[in-house]
Structure 1
Amino acid sequence: MTTVNTAQKVALVTGGNKGIGIAIVRGLAREGFTVLLGARSDQLGRAAAATVDGDVRPVVVDVTKQDQIDALVADVAREFGRLDVLVNNAGVNTLTFRPMEDLPKPTEENVDDFKNVYEVNVFGVVRMITAFLPLLLNADAPRIVNVTSKRGSIGEAGAWVGQPSMVYSSSKTALNAITVHYAREFADTTLKINGAAPGHVATDFNDFRGTRTPDEGAAVAVRLATLPADGPTGAVFEDDTQLTW
């Protein structure tokens, strides 16, 4: 990484090399951010970054690997001295490991499924927030956006209709809960922490069966990343609608 203009805001997007992640990267780059595009390999990151206009810099980070996270924190601290926006977008589903035509019933999902999914969708977010919090607090108006899902809602009408995975949806329920807890702790600061539900987006995550484009799904995350000082915190949004969860 090369040194950035200190007046230019810096954002980090995990899982930023494809799908909703690369769309969030595009959106933040259009907003004038220097965007650190997180990917699990340098090759994937470089290939993705080359498709986006703006100051987009690939970085290697697997949210399940503390050593990679720590190394990235050190790099960002050295180059920028702060982080303005953290977008926790990296996520997995049990369906990643099973054919879409063979959707599991709750009784067919097991502890290993929970471990695999929670390791990324929940524990990975905690690792990232814990590690980057000092750099976020160095920023004037820091924002954390946790990419969640309407499937994580208990109270939202229709959220559970056709839900294919108990493990995936419960991981997003847990993510919503930790989002609120973090926001509560920092309610009296300039740090705002919210959840972004992108809707049913067509990506390789669902065999491109979604009804929305990645850019449509990414718009809410970009909006929450650029909230004004009087914007909300501790909430989950799909587009402009606050969801119950």
Structure 2
Amino acid sequence: MKTVLITGANKGIGFETAKQLAQLGYFVYLGSRDKMKGLEAINKLKDLGISNVALIEIDVTNINSIKQAKQELETKTDALDVLINNAGIGGELPQNISAGEIENLRKVFETNFFGAVQTTQQFISLLKKSNAPVIVNVSSELGSLTIHNNTRNPNYGMYDAYSCSKTALNAFTVMLANEFRNTNFKINSVTPGYTATDLNQFKGIQTAEQGAKSIVKYATLNNDGATGKFFKEEAEIPW
């Protein structure tokens, strides 16, 4: 049975991704910063008849928490097949880059960018033990510089800190994929689309279940799958 770790999996898109991957036969480790909320998520899945799940307590902004999570996972499995860097925050509004609070920008980057980087660095040794390791960095269209330059959508100007953090995450995807381009790693950025979650006060136009489908698609790539790309649903989108 293949194994997957999903950060920020106790709610929203992360939870739905966990559910769908578990239903596909993966053993899913739900990463949650809050242990009690993580256990509640596990119980919800078990109430649905899904038993191939377990909790991993992990705060992606705390390196000691990440190291402890890795140590715990090493007692449960010899290899990690899929890492989904899903944990993220929207940050406080407004975020106009000319006057937004620097501390807010730092806080958003701490979770959305540095959190993903240091989580990946810690778990890379377990991923290397997989026959077909996959990393999915959960990004956003707001991280696409091309889309920003070609849209007049007013929503794009509301989330400058968030957008910058996702652009940085996309850069991490490219650098990491290039580093492992001659290996069996598949490393991609994936946007679930404008999904109704607490990150956007549930204003998204699709459900978390719908948003999770794109992540699941690229988390289950085979050996012929793409790497170093940015995807939404079925299509590649510009950086």
**TM-score normalised to the size of structure 1?**
0.91
Corresponding residue number in structure 1 for 2:117: 126
Equivalence for 1:216: 210
Using a 3 Å threshold, how does the CA distance of structure 1 residues 104 and 187 change in structure 2: closer, same or farther?
A: closer
- Residue deviations 1:24-55 (CA, integer Å, cap 9, x gap): 10111011111000111210000011112231
Aligned residues: percent identity?
38
- Secondary structure of 2:193's partner? coil
2:18 aligned residue (25, 44, 49): 25
Deviation of 1:213 (Å): 0.6
Give the corresponding residue for 1:88: 85
| Change beyond 3 A, Cα 1:159–1:49 | farther
What is the one-letter code of the residue matched to 2:35? D
Amino acid corresponding to residue 23 of structure 2 in structure 1? R
Pick from 117, 121, 124 the counterpart of residue 108 of structure 2.
Answer: 117
Contact 1:89 1:146 in 2 (8 A): yes
TM-score between both structures, scaled by the size of structure 2: 0.93
Residues 166-207 of structure 1: CA deviation (Å, up to 9, x unaligned): 110010001001101100111111111001101010111111
Q: Whole-Å Cα distance in 1 between the matches of residues 79 and 201 of structure 2? A: 37
Query: For residues 165 and 124 of structure 1, what CA distance do their matches in structure 2 show?
Result: 19
Partner secondary structure for residue 79 of structure 1: coil
8 A contact 1:82–1:139 mirrored in 2: yes
> Is 1:154 aligned to 2:145, yes or no?
yes
Give matches, 1:1-245, under 5 Å: 8-52=1-45, 53-95=50-92, 98=93, 103-156=94-147, 157-158=150-151, 161-163=154-156, 164-245=158-239
Any conservation in 1 of the 2:95–2:161 contact (CA below 8 Å)? no
Q: CA RMSD in A?
A: 1.3
Instruction: Give the superposition deviation at 1:108.
Output: 3.2
Q: Which runs of 5+ in 2 are unaligned?
A: none
Q: 2: CA distance between counterparts of 1:51 and 1:13?
A: 16
The amino acid that maps onto 1:134 is S
Q: Which runs of 4+ in 1 moved over 2 A?
A: 103-108, 156-162
In 1: Cα distance, 2:106 partner to 2:139 partner: 18
- Tell me if structure 2 keeps the 8 A contact 1:32–1:54: no
Measure, in 2, the Cα distance between the counterparts of 1:143 and 1:159: 35
Q: Distance in 1 between matches of 2:182 and 2:152?
A: 32
Shift of 1:113: 1.3
Q: Distance in 2 between matches of 1:83 and 1:183?
A: 17
Q: List per-residue Cα deviations over 1:117-167 (Å, max 9, x = no partner).
A: 000001001111100000000000010000000011111343865211111
Whether contact under 8 Å (2:56, 2:73) holds in the other structure is no
The number of residue pairs the alignment matches comes to 232
Contact 1:88–1:147 at 8 Å: present in 2 too?
yes
